[in-house]
Amino acid sequence: MSTSQSDALVIYGATGDLAFKKIFPALQAMAKRGHLDVPVIGVGRSAWTVDQFQARAFESLEKHGEVDPAAWEKLCGLLRYVHVDYADPTTFQALRKELDGAERPAHYLAIAPTMFETVVQQLEKSGCAKGGRVILEKPFGRNLASAQALNRTLHTYFPDQAVFRIDHYLGKESVQNLIYFRFANPFFETAWNRHSIQRVQITMAEEFGVVGRGRFYEEVGAIRDVVQNHLLMVIACLAMEQPSGRDSESIREERVNVLKMIRPLIPSDVVRGQFRGYRREGGVAPESQVETFAALRLYIDSERWAGVPFYVRTGKCLPVTATEVLVEFKRPCCPVLDEIEPPLPNYFRFRLSPDVTIALSTMTKVPGEAMVGERIELAARQCSGDQMDSYERLLGDAMKGDATLFARRDGVEAAWRVVQPILDTPMALYEYELNTWGPREADQLIEGDWHNPLVSV
């Protein structure tokens, strides 16, 4: 795999919401660390001047970060802008001119997936694709067939090693920490399997609703939006085997192997919900059947995980905004000491956001004459320190040609195979109240109780 540094970064959709909220702050951070010293060319349909584009970037930093004077001055000097009509090949000649001899441009498509094919075709026709890389935002298709078609299109114009599919969850420091914690602490490895673990829970809760994005959400829903990508990737990181090497392909291979072994979902393993009032949101159909909540039960058909249920839950308008993993170990097989009932099971808890917390529950003796115990939690919260934002990390890695934190073609398709059966099947949709943990029907899916993340203190 080529690891040569890109000599230009082209951002398609540079006037859009994603660039405003995430990309400009990431670019300033890259400039501050000395990781960005090539032209940054914004591409958009708006007939802006360079000055207007720079003003937009500055406003972004004021609202979604903070302005670092020295880093901003450096970034501002790198910014360029090209007005294009994606369907008009002549406008791409202006981009070719602005690239000014760049031999290894990185093309970042922060645009609607429906435009991916058009843009990569124009890049090829204009000569802008030669020697370059392409970086794509999710979603990668709407289902398995469209993902396969998209991959075929991409690889018509770019070799596989030049395609970088962003799942920003893989770029999160907390998800990187999850992988590191597993393999840097070998005392966990002997218990990280079906012989010791009873079940695994993953909850990704959002306190807010669709916040003005009703039209977009009608096209995706919770399963397409975060289950097929973010949450399946978290499972892959939790369940993967130790890579054979530190190179990107060894690591990606183990993640993909997990995705390929996850059993395709069936309707009895899924509960879908919709928060009360969703249908009154702008852009939402009056009789919408799109889920804003999903609870799922998954199984991994591998020697390590056979028979261990992975419970996944995500939703909007829930009581908190947080993502947590809870790995529950099996109870002792018989009562201990003076206790009539076996003690509560140990668990490992990993909070991925908004803060990073690693916690382990243990049983300790209650003071007194009897040999009985109580469960306590030993927790460590990680300070943020000089933490990289996921987009800063991912854009920097793509420009270096490091694909470790990017989704691979067969991994994307394997993830779609997991959810495809329930996308094709009409299923019940249960209404739930705002600020609750979803419809009651989700409680029937899990053996025992759901773990509800608490508000961070």
Computed over every residue of the chain, the mean pLDDT equals: 92
Residue 3's pLDDT band, with cuts at 50, 70 and 90, is low
Q: What is the mean pLDDT of residues 435-449?
A: 95
Q: What is the mean pLDDT of residues 382-409?
A: 88
Domains 8-165 and 173-223+264-386+423-444 share a fold: no
What is residue 385's predicted lDDT score, i.e. its pLDDT?
Answer: 59
Tokens of 237: 């990181």
Query: What whole-number percentage of the chain has pLDDT above 90?
Result: 74
How far is the C-alpha of 59 from the C-alpha of 328, rounded, in Å? Answer: 46
Instruction: Report domain 8-165's class.
Output: alpha beta
User: Could you tell me where the beta strands, DSSP code E, fall in 234-331?
Assistant: 270-275, 293-298, 310-315, 322-329
In the predicted structure, residue 289 carries a pLDDT above the cut 90: yes
- At 219, which helix (H) or strand (E)? helix 214-222
Q: In this structure, are residues 450 and 442 in contact, taking their beta carbons and an 8 Å threshold?
A: yes
- Name which of 7, 14, 134, 8 is nearest 83 in CA terms: 14
Tokens of 145: 């067939």
Tokens of 278: 């969703």
Cβ of 368: how many Cβ atoms within 10 Å?
7
Alpha helices in 241-310 (DSSP H): 248-261
- What percent of the residues of the chain are helix, what percent strand, and what percent coil, each to the nearest 5? 40, 20, 40
Q: Does the active-site annotation cover 230?
A: yes
Tokens of 328: 């529950």
Q: How far is CA 139 from CA 116, 166, 172, in A?
A: 11, 9, 18
Segments making up each domain of the chain, as ranges: 8-165, 173-223+264-386+423-444
Q: In this structure, are residues 391 and 357 in contact, taking their beta carbons and an 8 Å threshold?
A: no
Higher pLDDT, 337 or 238: 238
- Name which of 281, 267, 363, 364 is nearest 316 in CA terms: 281
Q: Phi first, then psi: give them for residue 346, nearest 5 degrees.
A: -70, 160
- Name which of 98, 117, 120 is nearest 107 in CA terms: 120
User: Could you tell me where the beta strands, DSSP code E, fall in 344-387?
Assistant: 347-353, 356-365, 373-382
How far is the C-alpha of 159 from the C-alpha of 167, rounded, in Å? Answer: 20
Pick the CATH number of 173-223+264-386+423-444 from 3.30.30.10, 3.40.50.720, 3.40.228.10, 3.30.360.10: 3.30.360.10
- End-to-end CA distance of the chain, in Å? 44
User: In this predicted model, what pLDDT tens digit does every residue of 80-116 receive, in sequence order?
Assistant: 999 999 888 888 999 999 998 899 999 999 988 888 9
- Assign 226 to helix, strand or coil: helix
User: In this predicted model, what pLDDT tens digit does every residue of 116-168 receive, in sequence order?
Assistant: 999 999 999 999 999 999 999 888 889 999 999 999 999 999 998 999 999 98
Q: What is the mean pLDDT of residues 394-398?
A: 96
How far is the C-alpha of 6 from the C-alpha of 144, rounded, in Å? Answer: 31
Q: How far is CA 10 from CA 71, 132, 140, in A?
A: 19, 10, 20
User: In this predicted model, what pLDDT tens digit does every residue of 164-223 receive, in sequence order?
Assistant: 999 989 998 888 888 888 888 888 888 999 999 999 999 999 999 998 889 989 989 999
Catalytic member of 35, 83, 168, 230? 230
Residue 300: DSSP 8-state: B
How far is the C-alpha of 77 from the C-alpha of 38, rounded, in Å? Answer: 10
User: In this predicted model, what pLDDT tens digit does every residue of 326-378 receive, in sequence order?
Assistant: 999 998 766 667 676 777 789 999 999 998 899 999 888 888 878 888 888 88
